[in-house]
Structure 1
Amino acid sequence: MVTIKDVARKANVSTATVSRILNNQTGYSEQTRETVMKVIEELSYKPNAVARSLISRNTQTIGVLFPNVSSMLSSEILQGIEEVAHHYGSSVIVCHTASDGIRTNKYLHLLHEKRVDGLIFVSETLRDEYYEKIKTMNVPLVLISTMSYKHQVPYVKVDDRHASYTATKYLIENGHTKIGMISGNKKDPIAGAPRIQGFQDALSESSSLSDSSTNVIFQNGFTFQDGKEGALKLLQQSPDITGIVAASDEIAIGAMSSLHHMGKKVPDDLSIIGYDNLTTSEMVIPPLTTIAQPFVEMGANASEMIFEMLRNGTHQVQSRIMRHQLIERESVNKQ
């Protein structure tokens, strides 16, 4: 059986250095880390995780809580998280909360029992009860696609208000003067209200468009079905609109489905711009113009922040606002 001494001998370092590298501690160069990790791979060294965790108090695991693990958004974020975690020799435990308080508390209890080294909380409001539970765990916490004004927790997200403003402004700059929006839940402080506000900000800059700020259909979520239903409601309310801002790509694609069944063509009869730049936005006909969130980078950044806090022995790092990007495709008619 290969031991830590065998790794140290072949890498020409001390066993203490190998241990520090395995436990993401400081005191070595990046070149030394790469050498040791290469030797570990060559020798197929499998450190005893239980023994190592008892000594270092680290389990080399990170807990990630998603409201919806099946969405493409979640899969891209998870890709970024896992790439960085793998780089540092850690594993990821994924929990599907379904935005349910009971299930979230249950998973937090489980992750506490598993003694995870850090937590990443994705796209959901950080309730007081969650925060208090996590405080008892005494581990680093990073939020993705959400933030908390009340609790000083580092986060990684885009500026949703600005991104929605960018989407609306794009329609205006392409000659659209009658614009509507299909939003998520207006009571959602994370992705609902800010995107609605960004839409209204862009419209308010032009006096000729100020009345359009009422052309908002509030849905419960950001799903394909919300888009199908929202498009029908919006056109009943405002049949003369020429452009739609959708609060997500799924909403946009659902709206396109309804428009197709109504005999309306995109973008000839109605232009649509989405939000997220999911893989499916390139697959629909016509390909969807949208606002891109760098989900893989967001996951990677959050994971890096966890390991930075573990190295430095702190629970605070600088939050990061990621840059959104307008992706031009074929769903917006330039009038």
Structure 2
Amino acid sequence: MTPTIKDVAKAANVSVATVSRVLHNLNGYSHKTKVKVLEAVEELGYHPNAIARGLINKRTQTIGVLFPNVSSGFTSEILYGIEEAANEKDYSVIVCNTAADGKRTMKYLQVLREKQVDGVVFTSELLKDEYYHQLKNMKMPVVLVNTHSSKYSIPYVKVDDRQASYQATAYLIEKGHTDIAMIGGTPWDTVAGIPRVEGYRQALADHGIPFEETKIAYGNFHMESGRSAMAKLLEEAPPFTALFAASDEMAIGAMGMAFEKGIKVPEELSIIGYDDLNLAKIIYPPLTTIHQPLAEMGRIAVEKLITLIEEQGEVPSSIVSHSIVERQTVKSKT
């Protein structure tokens, strides 16, 4: 039979109220009493019920996380950081897959409301007005990851997508490439799609290289779309010696298509990706890419969220650093 708080109180010869105060680090008892209670907890194998804890501190020690695609390598690395940080603070995590274009976002916000989560980590999707108003009605704190809102004042954790893309393109130029194509993300995506294209275009302009619309194709950040976009570029674009893909998955898809067409990477085509997923390290040849500290971004988001939950103050947004990871898919043009 599962031990209860009453069993602990009886074993320690104290009141239920005293056991509760010890377990929640409140004052009003001696050190000797605390030791007796903790020994009883250990001997009985007592685990406080989350609902019971919530009656005292008005919290469920649970946070909700919204992802548009839980199966991607990108998501798994952010989630790793989220779960590690949450576990260290004794919080549980409920993960919701909102699907492409947020088809299930409103549904899952309602689910999280019913579960009485203490806060929400909202990732990789545009924060639409309807989402914001629902969160506001839920009266719970929220932190954004890999996205931000220019309309609403909500703390976020992300890299500077425009600057990172600028540096990826400039890196190819420094290697002697002037015919550079790009596979961009979703064209209307203001979070990552548009800024990454802007960074690419600005780098070309700053180095005196004309932008050619035919040298850019679009995907949806996933691998298969990278294959399709690469096929389109090879068929319709002027010749190019280098490619910047706005995600590692699209870069790897493009590499697969290049291989099928008999194009050698990097001997005939240099490719740089964006994210630095684990997959980028094991693909052959290993992918040169822009590193985003995805797990660290998840961790920082949870730390901010728990501060909002427990201290009910304000937290600043964070622009985290990115870097170029040189592997074997970019070759200097001689």
Give a deviation string over 1:236-294, Cα, whole Å, max 9, x none.
33342110000111111111111111111000111000001111111111110000111
Structure 1 letter corresponding to 2:326: E
Contact 1:174–1:333 (CA under 8 A) maintained in structure 2: yes
Residue identity (%): 48
Deviation of 1:218 (Å): 3.4
CA distance in 2, matches of 1:110, 1:223: 27
CA distance in 2, matches of 1:237, 1:37: 71
Give a deviation string over 1:1-47, Cα, whole Å, max 9, x none.
3647689x9xxx985353158xxxxxxxxxxxxxx999977864310
Q: Indicate the SS of the match to 2:65.
A: strand
What's the counterpart of residue 197 of structure 1?
Answer: 198
Structure 1 stretches (4+) deviating beyond 6 angstroms? Answer: 36-43
Q: CA RMSD in A?
A: 2.4
- Indicate yes or no: 2:269 matched with 1:264: no
Deviation of 1:49 (Å): 1.6
What's the counterpart of residue 166 of structure 1?
Answer: 167
What's the counterpart of residue 75 of structure 1?
Answer: 76
Structure 2 letter corresponding to 1:279: N
304-313 or 115-124: bigger deviation: 304-313
Deviation of 1:220 (Å): 4.0
Contact 1:287–1:331 (CA under 8 A) maintained in structure 2: yes
What's the counterpart of residue 19 of structure 1?
Answer: 24
Pick the structure with greater CA Rg.
2
Contact 1:281–1:288 (CA under 8 A) maintained in structure 2: yes
CA distance in 1, matches of 2:321, 2:272: 18
- Indicate yes or no: 2:308 matched with 1:309: yes
Matches within 5 A, 1:104-115: 104-115=105-116
What's the counterpart of residue 318 of structure 2?
Answer: 320
- Indicate yes or no: 2:293 matched with 1:294: yes
Distance 1:37 1:276, change over 3 A: farther
CA distance in 1, matches of 2:99, 2:140: 23
Distance 1:100 1:188, change over 3 A: closer
Structure 2 letter corresponding to 1:293: Q
CA distance in 2, matches of 1:132, 1:55: 28
CA distance in 2, matches of 1:307, 1:278: 27
Deviation of 1:100 (Å): 4.6
What's the counterpart of residue 144 of structure 1?
Answer: 145
What's the counterpart of residue 29 of structure 1?
Answer: none
What's the counterpart of residue 30 of structure 1?
Answer: none
Unpaired segments ≥5 residues, structure 2: 27-36
Distance 1:50 1:230, change over 3 A: same
Distance 1:132 1:273, change over 3 A: same
CA distance in 1, matches of 2:238, 2:224: 20
Contact 1:99–1:124 (CA under 8 A) maintained in structure 2: no
TM-score by length of 1: 0.88
CA distance in 1, matches of 2:227, 2:121: 32
What's the counterpart of residue 242 of structure 1?
Answer: 241
What's the counterpart of residue 220 of structure 2?
Answer: 221
CA distance in 2, matches of 1:271, 1:119: 40
Deviation of 1:205 (Å): 0.9
Contact 2:120–2:140 (CA under 8 A) maintained in structure 1: yes
What's the counterpart of residue 156 of structure 2?
Answer: 155
CA distance in 2, matches of 1:223, 1:146: 17
CA distance in 1, matches of 2:248, 2:91: 32
CA distance in 2, matches of 1:41, 1:331: 55
What's the counterpart of residue 278 of structure 1?
Answer: 277
TM-score by length of 2: 0.88
Give a deviation string over 1:217-246, Cα, whole Å, max 9, x none.
332411111111111221233342110000
Deviation of 1:102 (Å): 4.7
